[in-house]
Amino acid sequence: MERAERIRAMEARLNRLLQWQEELARLLDELPQAREDEEILAEYLESPEWQADFEADERGELPADLPRGVLSEDGIYDALATQRELLDALHNETE
């Protein structure tokens, strides 16, 4: 029975590895779009448009049902920091 248990355990590991590889391949395919989003959001955060949009929100000039995560004080900044941390971690794991 020990051999069968070992084979089951190794099969489970193989299946997890294949699933992880499939997910990682999908994410790597999406990386160029994520990089573009990161760049555009960083530019927006530093732009006069972001400040004007933020101030318009503060004055209540935007529709109540408009999503406004990009206008939170730390929303974009935190997302960009997390993006850098994740990419650094990925880079460090591949060295």
Number of domains in the chain: 1
What pTM was computed for the model? 0.79
**pLDDT per position in the chain (95 positions), as tens?**
799 999 999 999 999 999 999 999 999 999 999 999 999 999 999 999 999 999 999 999 999 999 999 999 799 999 999 999 998 998 888 77
Q: What is the 3-state secondary structure (H, E, C) of the chain?
A: CHHHHHHHHHHHHHHHHHHHHHHHHHHHHHHHHHHHHHHHHHHHHCCHHHHHHHHHHHCCCCCCCCCCHHHCCCHHHHHHHHHHHHHHHHHHHHC
- CB-CB contact of 41 with 80 (8 Å): yes
**What is residue 90's predicted lDDT score, i.e. its pLDDT?**
84
Cα separation, 68 vs 64, in Å, equals 10
pLDDT at residue 66, as a whole number: 97
Give the structural domain span for 61: 2-94
